Amino acid sequence: MTNQTTKMYLQIVRELRLLIEKENIRPGGKLPSERELAERLQVGRSTVREALRSLELLGLIETRRGEGTFLTDFRKHKLVEILSTFILQDTKTIGDVHVTRQIHEKEAIRIVTGTQNLNQLPVWGSLLLQLQEEGAIVREDLIREILISSNNRLSLKMWFLLKQYGDEPFQGHSEKDENQHIQQLLTAIIEGEIEQAIDSYTGWITWLSQGRELT
């Protein structure tokens, strides 16, 4: 897979989100077919298929055999009710939410970094190349892809919901001062260095939390 193709993958995920917003597709609404999406976005169907898979793992869409792909409403998931009830009962648990979210992130990093077919996925090289060429990446692109690649659907959904309840540290594009942490994390993943990957992630989180109120 070429660098251009791997860079395109992340772009397609963002384009799909924009399309959903632009066309005001509501929960339960049907998305265009793979073929139509490929034509409209001018990319290969395999790239569209991978992007759709990512969104499905996030619980944002669902594929029904013989019917098509539909937008879901993750807020109807029972887990949301459990989390929201728990959090609303005690505002002090917001701090625990951040800790729990980081537990999921660290475990996903361990799984991806320690599994050869996962740490060699082209997306890590794509993000590293983007960081080097453009000087920034969308923060959530990296952490979301790590969770998706760990192939734990429940953990992914819990993470996706947990990050909604507090200050989201991964909003926006990375800044020059934090890029070293991100580059070290991506390099450690590719090289299969678990402890280095965790250390780099911890350094990144520390940098992101500076000057922010997370409790």
User: pLDDT value at position 120?
Assistant: 93
User: pLDDT value at position 61?
Assistant: 80
User: pLDDT value at position 49?
Assistant: 81
User: pLDDT value at position 100?
Assistant: 85
User: pLDDT value at position 76?
Assistant: 54
Alpha helices in the chain (DSSP H): 3-22, 34-41, 45-57, 78-89, 93-114, 116-119, 122-134, 139-149, 153-162, 179-191, 194-209
Q: Which of 131, 108, 116, 147 is nearest to 186 (CA)?
A: 131
pTM for the full predicted model = 0.62
Q: Which of 61, 57, 80, 91 is nearest to 162 (CA)?
A: 80
Cα radius of gyration (the chain): 18
**Cβ(101)–Cβ(159) below 8 Å:** yes
CA-CA distance, 133 to 140, in Å (whole number)?
Answer: 18
User: pLDDT value at position 172?
Assistant: 87
Domains (range + CATH), the chain? 3-74 (1.10.10.10), 77-209 (1.20.120)
Burial class (CB in 10 A: 0-12, 13-18, 19+), 181: buried
Give, for 70, the enclosing helix (H) or strand (E): strand 68-71
**Which stretches of the chain score pLDDT less than 50?**
1-3, 5-6, 78-89, 211-215
What the block records as the tokens of 40 is: 């409209």
